[in-house]
Amino acid sequence: MTIFIPTPLRPYAGGQDTVEVAAATVGESLQALTLAHPDLRNHLFTGEGKLRAFVNLYLNDEDVRYLPGKEATAVTAADTLSIIPSIAGGA
């Protein structure tokens, strides 16, 4: 599946805007992502391994928080996962 990496996190993903991973669930895809790009881990997860509260994840166009299975939701190779960052620029 394809994971979209937002601009602020690209330096920690080798500058890439998308990363392809093979995974069966949303959670597994994040594991695969942070295994390939360890620098991302600290930006996505707390020390206890919980997803950080200000990180928004969307499976296709749905907020993972509102999916019944949440991070255990099954994914296929055709799905996309978007990490939506807080950005505040405007001036």
Binding residues for other proteins, rule: CB under 8 A, are 6-8, 11, 17, 43, 53-54, 56, 58, 61-63, 66, 82, 84-91
The least CB distance from residue 32 to other proteins, in Å, is 22
Contact 59, 75 (CB under 8 A): yes
Contact 81, 26 (CB under 8 A): yes
The least CB distance from residue 1 to other proteins, in Å, is 16
The least CB distance from residue 17 to other proteins, in Å, is 7
Handedness of CA 26, 32, 36, 41 (dihedral sign): positive
Query: In this structure, what token pair is assigned to residue 86?
Result: 């807080």
Q: Is the CB of 11 or the CB of 74 nearer to other proteins?
A: 11
Q: Is the CB of 33 or the CB of 81 nearer to other proteins?
A: 81
**Polymer length of the chain:** 91
Q: Is the CB of 76 or the CB of 86 nearer to other proteins?
A: 86
Element (H, E) at 90: none
